[in-house]
Structure 1
Amino acid sequence: MSAIENLRMDEPVRLDPDRLVVLYAELGQFAAERLIAAAMEDLAVHLVAVQLAAREQRAELLDRGAAEIARLARQVGMDPVSRVAQDLRACVARDDRVGQAAVLARLVRLAERSLTAVWDYQDMQL
């Protein structure tokens, strides 16, 4: 009998700090912080919504939520999260349920870690 292999699900979080710097430069500290906080809150809400949509097998809601996650993540320099959300949309479009489950799990892991990284970056700027 073959041994079961445990795979480490660990990938580095990558933020585009230049995007955050641009936001602060264009909007000023107060407005940039408000925009980032609102985007982070919306991203967290959409992350829960896509998980629920996947559980209920509601492809349209899953696709819409993933599109919104991609937009919000791009807005605050979370480009890998945005790309994975687009990958999720591709799985939904192909009706690839196995791929969808795997990509959704990756999106949740990456988004949660990225949200923390953005908050940590903001704390360093204060």
Structure 2
Amino acid sequence: MNVVEKILTLEHTETVRLDPDRLSGLYRQLGDKSALDVLCRTVEELAVRLSNCERFWRKRDWDNLRKCSKSLVAIADQIGMTALARVANDVAQSVDAGDAVAAGATLGRLIRIGERSLTAIWDQQDLSV
């Protein structure tokens, strides 16, 4: 019988990229109160869509996974979440390629980046409830 002496745990860490110019432009264009309202609604919508993407993947609903990830690209890009937008596009491309394994892997990455991005934007804007 073999005995395992060491078990390694891989920890995935993702770099979050926020475009501060995009956020500043939003505040300049809408004003503080309106921009904060838009940002709060957007953060909530991103969280819902991330959850939907995971649900669609589990159901193997490729059409809706593709649509949902593409909608994440547009929303994330509007508020300067560049890494989130890029990886959401990668999910859509994996679906388009018919590669379920790649779609699952990139979706896992999307969720990790999504969670960190939402936390970063929340902390940066002090969106306390």
Higher helix proportion (structure 1 or 2)? 1
* RMSD, matched Cα: 1.7
Q: Following TM superposition, by how much is the alpha carbon of 1:14 offset from its aligned partner in structure 2, in angstroms? A: 1.5
What does residue 92 of structure 1 align with? 95
Of 17, 20, 23, 1:17 maps to: 20
Distance 1:34 1:11 in 2: 27
What does residue 42 of structure 1 align with? 45
Which residues in structure 2 correspond to 1:35-114 (within 5 Å)?
35-114=38-117
Distance 1:80 1:66 in 2: 13
Unaligned runs of 5+ in 1: none
TM-score where L is the length of structure 2: 0.89
Of 114, 117, 122, 1:119 maps to: 122
Distance 1:8 1:115 in 2: 19
What's the % identity of the aligned pairs? 40
Q: Which amino acid aligns with 1:22?
A: G
Distance 2:7 2:98 in 1: 29
Distance 1:57 1:81 in 2: 22
Unaligned runs of 5+ in 2: none
TM-score where L is the length of structure 1: 0.91
Of 30, 33, 42, 1:27 maps to: 30
Tell me if structure 1 keeps the 8 A contact 2:23–2:79.
yes
Structure number with larger C-alpha Rg:
2
Distance 2:55 2:22 in 1: 30
Aligned residues: 123
Distance 1:77 1:9 in 2: 23
Distance 2:9 2:120 in 1: 26
